[in-house]
């Protein structure tokens, strides 16, 4: 009889049968399913299966947590079901078929912008700080800023633009690079293409709206003229150019003989891509921008201005994500010159606030998720100071619903603002400081609109997030109950097996502690940015923020499991029957073994200090995964009074991190 025969049969039935499985794979602890109809899976019944420790859905995959024995369970499951498992890449690809077109677009955008998020956050905070010291007139009856009255702050204000310009004006370089990286083509060609979009030879893209058409420089080829326009801050044009380059390179790689590919492929890919970017992609981008500007201006000036304000407030955040939002500067300037004020800028400030409030709610919802907080908190700060890109690309677009909640709050606030006739003196600071640009007679109305922009997105995000995020995470109490049931089941797994463990423990020298498997800072398992680990679904343990690059055995042991294809995890059994799961990083299974070298094999006996896995921290960081490594006791064996030690700097193979009797 197979070890998990009954559990396998139950799972296959409860998941909707063989015909509901599109693909299946596994990692070190979880079965990963792509289901044809996810609604057929009976989650509550599945979590009552003795060997199941929890379930959750993520990125189109239905994941069933089994634990250290997942490889055995997986083999029995696929054999009983009569299906073949596939690679994790194939599962991810199949999972995308469960996504609707909007989810696929957001997923692609998320993958493109994920490597850019640290720079966007840094740039957002820098520009927000510049706004405070250089754009807000706190002094001399509201006529001068801190930079106006202090040479030090004036110098700081000017110096910080070096970073702000690099992040936001030169953003197309990062976008095109990220696209080539995602698509697996030559990244340096993407960087070069991006640089041609923001070259200093070109008219700065942010100046185009204020430059008469006759003054725009051109390349004159005799038979045709091409405008020398830069695409600073542009997203759509950069993405289109990036994909043109990618597909040209793939085409020429496929059809070019290997012996001359080094010469032909880069030239035939890059040169046409640059030409297309400046003759087709760029003009299309500007036409879109002009159309949006005209629609906004005419809409605000129409008898239906309040309704249009709601539409503008709703759509402004997506416009920011396209990079076309700077076109509103021309409209603001025209409104200011005609009416000595602008009704457009207050709505922009309110949209900033609304998106920031959605991030604030996410920060509260994810207060125990350290990894998420590293993005949430700075993104919220920069958003409230008027720079929304970190919040939009780093948080709200990633999850989807915070973006929509922010858009709804922005729409309502915009209608209040325009309906009350709120005007700003001119273009000013976005976000919360935006009130300093508002004419004093409209302060109360703008404060009301601000309150709505803060409260509505916050409340909506909290309501939706408390439901939606709980579906993507583990069910706390139920998971603990399932874990207890699983522990009871595994603890009663046959008298013969227990006797074998006891006799093995008696034959060996008493084992009373496990040493650190890595050099680095030891942290509690609760602080690991992964719900399965931090909620102790797999068991108790510790985690280490690594300073070294090699995991070693914390005591004499037998290797009971390895992830041979990815190399990112392994399991050990000690003489007292205790079992330990070692998992390097969070979600590093997605790296498919890149950066990991497995140094042992299943069944191998190892001594304390024996190298188990070598890994590359830089590759893990480049893949946007935390490198924190967990050491989880999945089976206590004969150990009693187990103590997990944390909060200190540990040396691999020397510092005790787990003590027991």
Q: For residue 21, which phi and psi values (nearest 5 degrees)?
A: -100, 115
Write down the residue that tokens 């960087």 correspond to: 191
Taking Cα atoms as reference points, which of 10, 60, 53 lies closest to residue 32? 60
- Residue count of the chain, please give it: 661
Q: Which residues pair with 30 in a beta bridge?
A: 65
Segment holding 134, helix H or strand E: none
Number of Cβ within a 10 Å radius of residue 223: 5
Reduced to 3 states (helix: H, G, I; strand: E, B; else coil), residue 514 is: strand
CA distance 163 to 168: 9
User: Is residue 605 a contact partner of residue 587, using CB atoms and an 8 Å limit?
Assistant: no
Active site residue 570: no
Q: For residue 562, which phi and psi values (nearest 5 degrees)?
A: -140, 155
DSSP character for 438?
B
DSSP character for 522?
E
Using alpha carbons only, give the angle 171, 176, 182 rounded to the nearest 5 degrees: 125
| Cβ partners under 8 Å of residue 345, min gap 6 | 332, 424, 426, 427, 428, 434, 437
Catalytic residue among 27, 380, 383, 570: 27
Structure tokens at 159: 């110096």
Using alpha carbons only, give the angle 44, 48, 51 rounded to the nearest 5 degrees: 130
DSSP character for 248?
H
Q: For residue 33, which phi and psi values (nearest 5 degrees)?
A: -105, 145
Beta strands 611-615; 596-598: pairing state? antiparallel
* Residues that are catalytic: 27
């Amino acid at each position: 009889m197979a070890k998990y025969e009954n559990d396998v049969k139950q799972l296959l039935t409860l998941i909707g049968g063989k015909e509901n499985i599109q693909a299946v794979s596994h990692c070190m602890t979880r079965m990963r399913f792509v289901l044809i109809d996810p609604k057929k899976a009976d989650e509550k019944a599945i979590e009552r299966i003795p060997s199941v420790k929890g379930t959750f859905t993520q990125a189109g995959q239905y994941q069933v947590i089994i634990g250290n024995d997942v490889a055995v369970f997986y083999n029995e499951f696929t054999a009983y079901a009569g299906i073949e498992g596939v690679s994790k890449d194939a599962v991810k690809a199949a999972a995308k078929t469960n996504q609707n077109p909007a989810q696929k677009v957001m997923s692609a955008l998320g993958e493109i912008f994920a490597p850019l998020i640290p720079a966007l956050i840094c740039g957002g905070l820098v520009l927000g700080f510049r706004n405070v010291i250089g754009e807000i007139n706190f002094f001399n009856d509201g006529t001068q800023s801190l930079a106006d009255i202090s040479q030090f702050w004036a110098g700081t204000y000017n110096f910080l633009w070096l970073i702000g310009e690099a992040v936001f004006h030169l953003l197309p370089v990062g976008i095109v690079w990220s696209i080539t990286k995602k698509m697996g083509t030559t990244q340096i060609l993407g960087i070069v293409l991006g640089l041609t979009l923001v070259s200093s030879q070109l008219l700065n893209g942010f100046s185009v709206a204020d430059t008469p058409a006759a003054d725009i420089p051109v390349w004159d080829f005799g038979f045709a003229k091409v405008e020398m326009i830069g695409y600073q801050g542009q997203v759509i044009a950069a993405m289109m150019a990036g994909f043109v380059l990618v597909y040209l390179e793939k085409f020429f790689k496929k059809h070019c003989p290997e012996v001359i590919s080094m010469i032909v492929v880069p030239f035939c890919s890059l040169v046409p891509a640059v030409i297309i970017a400046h003759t087709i992609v760029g003009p299309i981008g500007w036409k879109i921008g002009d159309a949006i500007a005209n629609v906004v201006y005419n809409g605000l000036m129409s008898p239906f201005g309040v309704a249009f304000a709601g539409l503008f407030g709703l759509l402004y955040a997506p416009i920011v994500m396209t990079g076309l939002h700077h076109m509103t500067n021309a409209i603001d300037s025209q409104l200011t010159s005609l009416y000595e004020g602008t009704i457009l800028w207050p709505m922009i400030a309110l949209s900033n606030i609304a998106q920031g409030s959605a991030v604030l709610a996410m920060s509260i919802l994810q207060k125990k998720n350290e990894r998420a907080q590293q993005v949430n908190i700075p993104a919220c700060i920069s958003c409230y100071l008027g720079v929304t890109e970190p919040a939009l690309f780093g948080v709200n677009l990633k999850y989807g619903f915070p973006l929509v909640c922010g858009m709804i709050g922005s729409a309502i606030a915009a209608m209040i603002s325009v309906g009350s006739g709120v005007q700003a003196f001119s273009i000013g600071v976005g976000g919360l400081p935006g009130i300093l640009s508002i004419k004093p007679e409209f302060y109360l109305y703008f404060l009301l609109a601000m309150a709505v922009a803060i409260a509505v997105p916050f409340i909506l995000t909290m309501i939706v997030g408390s439901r939606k995020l709980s579906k993507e995470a583990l069910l706390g109490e139920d998971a603990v109950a399932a874990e207890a049931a699983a522990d009871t089941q595994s603890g009663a797994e046959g008298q013969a097996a227990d006797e074998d463990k006891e006799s093995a423990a008696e034959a060996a020298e008493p084992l009373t502690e496990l040493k650190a498997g890595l050099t680095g800072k030891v942290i509690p398992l609760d602080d690991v940015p992964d719900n399965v680990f931090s909620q102790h679904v797999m068991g108790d343990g510790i985690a280490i923020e690594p300073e070294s690059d090699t995991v070693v055995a914390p005591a004499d042991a037998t290797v009971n499991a390895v992830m041979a294809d990815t190399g990112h995890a392994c399991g050990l059994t000690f003489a007292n029957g205790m079992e330990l799961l070692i998992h390097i990083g969070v979600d590093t299974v997605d790296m498919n073994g890149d950066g990991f070298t497995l140094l042992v094999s299943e069944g191998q006996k190892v001594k304390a200090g024996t190298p188990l896995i070598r890994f590359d921290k830089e590759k893990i960081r480049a893949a946007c995964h935390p490198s924190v490594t967990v050491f989880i006791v999945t089976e206590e064996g004969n150990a009693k009074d187990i103590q997990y030690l944390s909060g200190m700097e540990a040396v691999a193979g020397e510092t005790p991190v787990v003590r027991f009797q």
